[in-house]
Amino acid sequence: MTFRDLIYPDCRQLVLKRGGARQRDAEQYEVKIRTKNGDERWLDISTAIIEFDGMLASLVSAFDLTERKHAEEKVQLLAATDPLTGLGNYRRLVEALHAEVKRTGRTGRPFAVLLLGMDQLKMINDRYGPMAGSRALCRLGDVLRLFCRAIDTAARYGADEFAVILPETTAAAARLVASRIRSRLATASLQPPLSASIGVAVYPQDGETVEALLCTADRELYGMKPV
């Protein structure tokens, strides 16, 4: 094997391009490799053309960046995660919404958004205590995970409000998911009993911008809220 054989396919073109360029200035780039035992590693590659024994030669240095990369990924994950439920936060929700708008622009296929509001969270906090209220939010988060596909995004974006983005999903299919979430909450044996009001909106028919789409789902959500 050569070093090039260890490089991940999505990095090989970069290495070929840099390796084929004639240059006298130092250059630096990062590549991901797979070691002979299957581990993934990130390397910081520095290259330069130097004079060696009267001839031009390539000087290549490689530094292992794997631990730093893992730390960066952890920081990025924490920045987009709700610390209580482990779901995405508002930042993650907005990023996913904009990504879905772009995908719909490419494919022409719609996506749906569910906005969920936990009913009577204040009553739960007052009656059972704030710890019970936190556990109730986590229970709702667990239900959302249960009904989420790998391509879906579930996020908490308010004190008692959640959202689920359902790519390539029609209004009828989204309402079926909402019904299943409500049924799951209603049949749970844990106390206190939980329920959620859910608004549904589909892009682009219910709003041609992220803001308009969320407003449509929000209106439906609060129209269902118990008095």
- How confident is the model at residue 47, as a pLDDT? 83
Nearest to 92 by CA among 139, 157, 169, 180: 157
| Beta-carbon contacts of residue 6 (< 8 Å; ≥ 6 apart) | 33, 34, 35, 36
pLDDT tens string, the chain, 227 residues long: the values are 677 777 777 776 666 666 555 555 677 888 888 887 878 888 898 888 888 888 888 888 889 988 888 888 777 767 779 999 999 999 999 999 999 999 999 999 999 999 999 999 999 999 999 999 999 999 999 999 999 999 999 999 888 999 999 999 999 999 999 999 999 999 988 889 999 999 999 999 999 999 999 999 999 998 888 76
Which residues 6+ apart lie within 8 Å of 7 measured at CB? 15, 31, 32, 33
Tell me if the bond preceding 226 is cis, omega within 30° of 0: no
Residues carrying an active site annotation: 160
Helix (H, G, I), strand (E, B) or coil at 74: helix
Beta strands at 40-52 and 27-34: parallel, antiparallel or unpaired: antiparallel
Q: Is residue 35 helix, strand or coil?
A: coil
Give the β-pairing of 161-166 and 153-156: antiparallel
Predicted structure pTM score: 0.71
Q: Which domains does the chain have, with CATH numbers?
A: 3-71 (3.30.450.20), 83-224 (3.30.70.270)
DSSP 99-155: HHHHHHHHH---EEEEEEEETTHHHHHHHH-HHHHHHHHHHHHHHHHHH--TT-EEE
User: How much is the pLDDT for 187?
Assistant: 92
* Residues counted in the chain: 227
Phi, psi of 35 (to 5 degrees): -75, 170
pLDDT score of 147: 92
- CA gap 144, 163 in Å, rounded: 9
C-alpha neighbours within 13 Å on the C-beta side of residue 195: 9
CA distance 154 to 90: 10
